[in-house]
Amino acid sequence: MTNSTNKPNVVFWIIGIIALLWNAMGVNQYIQQAYNSESYRAMYSEEQLAIIDKLPSWYTAIFAIAVFASLIGCILLLLRKKSAVLLFQIAFIAVVIQTSYNLFINEGKEYYGNFEYSMLIMIPLFAFFLAWYSKNSKIKGWLS
């Protein structure tokens, strides 16, 4: 019995590259927040920084899981490895936890602007899409 895979179409590669860039930005955001860089602090008001500084450590861990699982998932997707599916599923769960905290528990919602609310919609949708797309790619035989 041979293990053969089909060749993915050009859209697969476009989605993979866009997803890689998107998730690299997420990793960058996490690293800036974790190291509390000057450029990171310049992006937010004092009120927003006070809220961010009060985030629980488990939230920061979930953020790390979400962005690193997604980035590694993108690399594996581009390498056409089926293990990308599991990583995107883990990332999606982490994003749902993170988004739920931001929507229902975080006390700093009054400082959210249009950008923050749009990201609260876009990030889970993109995470869901990548989990679905990678699973669909596996079903199509594009991943081995």
Quick: pLDDT tens for 85-105. 999 999 999 999 999 999 999
Residue 127 counted as domain residue:
yes
Residue 33 counted as domain residue:
yes
Mean pLDDT for all residues in the chain: 93
Q: Is 107 exposed, middle or buried (0-12, 13-18, 19+ CB in 10 A)?
A: exposed
Residue 1: pLDDT over 60:
no
Residue 65: pLDDT over 90:
yes
Closest CA to 76 of 93, 90, 59: 90
pLDDT for the residue 5: 62
Residue 58 counted as domain residue:
yes
pLDDT for the residue 3: 53
Residue 5 counted as domain residue:
no
Q: Is 16 exposed, middle or buried (0-12, 13-18, 19+ CB in 10 A)?
A: buried
pLDDT for the residue 4: 56
Domain count, the chain: 1
What percent of the chain clears pLDDT 90, i.e. is strictly above it? 74
Question: DSSP letter at 44?
Answer: S
Cα–Cα–Cα angle for 39, 34, 40, rounded to 5 degrees: 15
Residue 54 counted as domain residue:
yes
Lowest mean pLDDT among 18-22, 51-55, 94-98: 51-55
Q: Which residue has the higher pLDDT, 113 or 43?
A: 43
Query: Span 51-80, mean pLDDT?
Result: 96
Query: Span 57-65, mean pLDDT?
Result: 97
User: Which domain does 59 fall in, by range?
Assistant: 10-139
Residue 1 counted as domain residue:
no
Residue 2: pLDDT over 50:
no
Residue 144 counted as domain residue:
no
Query: Span 20-38, mean pLDDT?
Result: 95
Please count the other Cβ atoms lying within 10 Å of the Cβ belonging to residue 124. 16
Does residue 138 contact residue 82 with C-beta atoms inside 8 Å? yes
Residue 60 counted as domain residue:
yes
Q: Which residue has the higher pLDDT, 84 or 41?
A: 84
